[in-house]
A and B are shown apart, each in its own frame.
Chain A
Amino acid sequence: MIGLNSLKQISDYEWEIPREVRGDMRVPVRLFATRELLEAAFDDKSIEQAINAATLPGLVGNVIVMPDMHQGYGFPIGGVAATRFPDGVISPGAIGYDINCGVRLLGSSIDYAAITDQLDDLASALNEHCPSGVGSKGALRLSESELNHVCESGSKWALKKGYATEQDLRRTEEGGCLDGADPDKVSDRAKERGRTQLGTLGAGNHFIEVDVVDKVFAEDAAQAMGLREGCLVVQIHCGSRGFGHQICTDYVQELQGAVKRYKITLPDRELVCAPLNSPEGQAYLAAMRCAANFAFANRQILAHAARQAFEAVLAGKTPNWYLHQIYDITHNMGKIETHVVAGERIKVCVHRKGATRAFGPGSPELPDEYQTIGQPVLVPGSMGTASWVLAGTAASMERSFGSSCHGAGRVMSRHQAKREVRGETLRRELEAEGIHVRAGSLPGLAEEAPQAYKNVDAVVETVAGAGIARLVARLKPVAVIKG
């Protein structure tokens, strides 16, 4: 049984599980957490799952775990693992079913104080313009060839169709399009599910939120991003919908046989994997990139819809109602990147599951305007609590494969949350705090209650304390739209 005494403390914010803790670990695990957050992590299977992740063939450096860690399936949420390219493995379960689930942040120069009377209309308009809820379908019905274009081009497809601007793409991770996507590696079933779901939010923990910039902590970065205290911003959190879920399901199934063929022994079948340079690994990578591009296009269409909603409510009532893109990040993805490991620059496949890319200043992947400040890192809090904008640092490049946290992290099961919180009561409490709520399902709202999550402030304090991100701004919610 592994306890806190099996761990080596590196600093107030960093701990190590040495390789010797379990015989099948290939690399150590580094956890970014305060003692309090770490002790809480022993309440579920996060630590055991992190150790399981450390058994994947071809790992380099350490398996990294973020302070918002919690138990997932196979791989912990908040986990980062890099495998050597091209002979290390890729594992669909270490990326997740909602491939390229991520967050987009749109900024504005709309003064919150000047439009408080319009907020309720704004919440309704966002709810009408952005389809949400269980099994939601969008206004778009894509032909197979159109869907293939989305798979190959992601946000570039959206730009061509008039749903995006050049700036949107420049301020999206990977420019909103991963190269190497191959629709032929995607099943008919996935395509069938994807055709009607582009431009939809879905349900679960996905949301659109209007926030006000509550406090700026780094003026240089805030200015570069166009964040000003007292102004409105919009967060969009969603992923690749049924299209991505089906792709992951197909390949987790497919790779059950591959692990036997490649004689890979794993502690959990959900971690199934294949070498990156194997036909199975290549096929998954190409299909996963289709889902990633689908998700980039999905958030882009929702951003377009949010702009329409703002225009419908605020045109003529405020001088400038335009929502500019601050950044779009993914927190469930596998990507080929170059990192320094043991003093050597090598190509690796970085699996991030519930972890955000957080590249530091000077990274060639960042647009010119973010070169000196580092990549914006978007950390949504639980509903009704603060969200954070951070920026990547040089230390994140050195110590966490250019990664940081992705949210608050659950502490309470959905079942327990529903038992302890009544959706209607929560909605009233949020409204009393001045947060306008539109929810497709009140029990669904209860599942996402703030008490079901860790304190996001403690999570960001940890990554800032560890130096793998710096604080830029705190956001306060004023309207929430949930499926």
Chain B
Amino acid sequence: MNSHPRAGYREQPHTADWALEVWASDLDGLLQQAARGMYALMQARLTGEPREVYRFEINAPDREIVLVTFLSELLYFTQRDDVGFDQFDLAWAGQQLTATVEGAPIESIAKEIKAVTYHNLAVRETERGLEATIVFDV
């Protein structure tokens, strides 16, 4: 998977579900890596065209809630509209996330994610910036 030293994601072992470790220098980057990792786990393949843009805002009292809500929002659009996302313009300020996400219709998905969980979720500050491990129910 993505091995960029400043930001990335990596699957972690989990007996029944999926765990994804993500890291980035700031929260916007962390959200972006988490979204890319989630679609990589699903093995989502997008058609090239037409490109589709979605805009939404999330109010959240902490970083864990914004992370779960952001991914759940994407998952909902994916399941409702058969669309996947690969470009993210995100801004987190004053407990509000403003998101513009761009993607395309899904050609295929190998695995369905039922939900994004809060299991042991903590956005931690480390030498790499911010890190978190997200468990998905599959």
Contact = CB atoms under 8 A, between A and B. Distances in A.
A441 B64 CA distance: 33
Interface stretch (A53-61, A212-220, A246-254): A246-254
Contact of B15 (A134, A269, A413): A413
Nearest to B117: A73
Contact of B14 (A71, A252, A256, A272): A71
A44 B110 contact: no
Interface residues of A, number: 41
A202 B135 contact: no
A477 interface: no
B111 A268 contact: no
Interface in A418-449: 441, 443-444
Contacts of A18: none
A270 interface: yes
Interface residues of B, number: 31
Contacts of A93: 117-119
B118 A444 contact: no
A72 B79 CA distance: 23
B64 A269 contact: yes
A71 B14 CA distance: 8
B132 to A, nearest CB: 12
B119 A270 contact: yes
Interface stretch (B26-34, B48-56, B68-76, B97-105): B68-76
B2 to A, nearest CB: 16
A443 to B, nearest CB: 6
A73 B137 contact: yes
Nearest to A447: B111
B137 A193 contact: no
B117 A135 contact: no
Interface of B: 11, 13-18, 64-65, 68-69, 72, 76, 79-80, 82, 109-112, 114-121, 135, 137-138
Interface of A: 44, 70-74, 77, 93, 96-98, 134-135, 189, 192-193, 202-204, 242, 245-246, 248-249, 252-253, 256, 268-270, 272, 410-416, 441, 443-444
25 contacts: A71-B14, A73-B137, A93-B118, A93-B119, A97-B115, A97-B137, A134-B110, A134-B112, A189-B76, A193-B79, A204-B114, A242-B79, A245-B114, A248-B115, A252-B117, A252-B118, A253-B65, A268-B120, A270-B119, A413-B13, A413-B15, A415-B18, A443-B111, A444-B110, A444-B111
